[in-house]
Amino acid sequence: MQLSLLETFRAVVEKGTTQAAAEALGLSQSGVSRRIAQLEEELGIPLFVRDRGRLIPTRENRLLQGQIVGLVEHGARLTQRAGELRAGNYATEMLRVAFPASLTMSIVPTILADFLARNERVQVELHTGAYDTIERMILDERAEIGFLRMPTQRTGLVTTPVIEVPTVCVMPRGHPLAERETVSIGDLHAVPLILLGRMRLPRRDIDEAFWEVGLRPLVRVEAHSVQSACALAARGIGVTLVNELMARDFAHLPIEIRPLRERLLHRFAFAVTEGVPATEIARQFIETSISRFGSMLSEP
């Protein structure tokens, strides 16, 4: 099967139309349509339903998307590696890792600096995304290692525990609650809140903590990353409850961070695909990361 057919499929999926895909690939619209038809013929299944000039992804399309995108990216890496070999760079080893974007301000750069200083011949490809995206990256083999919050949402992953961190309260600088050494759920009565992860386990723990003291949280914003929650708190929109590990990455913002008196824990792990043994360089990266995470939390 030609890689160009898979690249065309990915372009159509990402761009939404054959015209946009044709422009991105430098092909004619009819050329894109021919490639899609050829791919469908080779696979023996329909990938799109034709409806008045529009291509609507089929169920089979959605099930295969991750694997096809992974094959395209594997092909791109193969081409890149061949170029490195032609240039005489024989010793470089690639490691693909995935982290939430909220960790990439200072924590991940610190880990990478430590790791790369000890492994001069290793090249790291850093992916970012939400936890569910990272799980798909690992299962589709777009990333060898992924940093995930436990418990995971999908099967087929093998995890190595990394760190367990408490919940902290993040508020705008100068907020009345900043006068306290610690903040309790009861202190948040009628306080505008920015909360994360609706329908996820950490959020359920927070909702239950409010319920246990007879309060209903006053949620002003539903956020989907620690980064956005802390940025919103910095602008005075409200107070947020997030894990301490990621909150530290945003201490440069005009915010105050206080421990939450209630012990609501967040557990994190590295994950790899089940049945695919981690390489020696991947194991070294995990060991370096675990050591670095531990030292970070011991710092004031």
Strand, helix or coil for residue 217: coil
Question: Cα separation of 125 and 163, whole Å?
Answer: 23
Cα end-to-end span (Å), the chain = 56
* The predicted structure's pLDDT at residue 83: 73
Q: Average pLDDT in the 202-217 region?
A: 92
Residue 93 pLDDT more than 60?
A: yes
* The predicted structure's pLDDT at residue 58: 85
Under 8 Å between Cβ of 32 and 18:
yes
* The predicted structure's pLDDT at residue 128: 93
Mean pLDDT of the chain: 88
Residues 6+ apart with CB under 8 A from 185: 209, 210, 212, 213, 215, 260, 261, 262
Under 8 Å between Cβ of 220 and 192:
yes
Return the higher-pLDDT residue of 220 and 45. Answer: 220
* The predicted structure's pLDDT at residue 253: 95
Give pTM, 2 decimals.
0.69
Question: Cα separation of 135 and 271, whole Å?
Answer: 8
pLDDT digits (tens, 9 = 90+) for 16-75: 788 888 888 888 888 888 888 888 888 888 888 877 667 788 888 788 877 787 777 777
Q: Report residue 89's pLDDT band, with 50, 70 and 90 as the boundaries.
A: low
pLDDT digits (tens, 9 = 90+) for 6-15: 888 888 888 8
For 22-32, letters b (16+ CB in 10 Å) and e give: bebbebeeeeb
pLDDT digits (tens, 9 = 90+) for 111-133: 999 999 999 889 899 999 989 99
Q: Report residue 300's pLDDT band, with 50, 70 and 90 as the boundaries.
A: low
Question: Cα separation of 23 and 19, whole Å?
Answer: 6
Residue 173 pLDDT more than 60?
A: yes
Question: Cα separation of 207 and 203, whole Å?
Answer: 6
Q: Report residue 299's pLDDT band, with 50, 70 and 90 as the boundaries.
A: low
Residue 90 pLDDT more than 70?
A: no
Amino acid at 54: R
* The predicted structure's pLDDT at residue 298: 67
Question: Cα separation of 50 and 123, whole Å?
Answer: 43
pLDDT digits (tens, 9 = 90+) for 241-255: 999 988 988 989 999
Question: Cα separation of 111 and 197, whole Å?
Answer: 26
Residue 180 pLDDT more than 90?
A: yes
101-105, 110-114, 188-192, 210-214: range with lowest mean pLDDT: 101-105
CA 127 to chain centroid: 7
The DSSP symbol for 183 reads: B
CA angle, residues 143, 144, 146, in degrees to nearest 5 = 70
Question: Cα separation of 70 and 88, whole Å?
Answer: 27
CA 119 to chain centroid: 24
pLDDT digits (tens, 9 = 90+) for 140-171: 888 999 999 998 888 899 999 999 999 999 99
> Domains in the chain, please, with CATH?
3-83 (1.10.10.10), 88-162+267-298 (3.40.190.10), 164-266 (3.40.190.290)
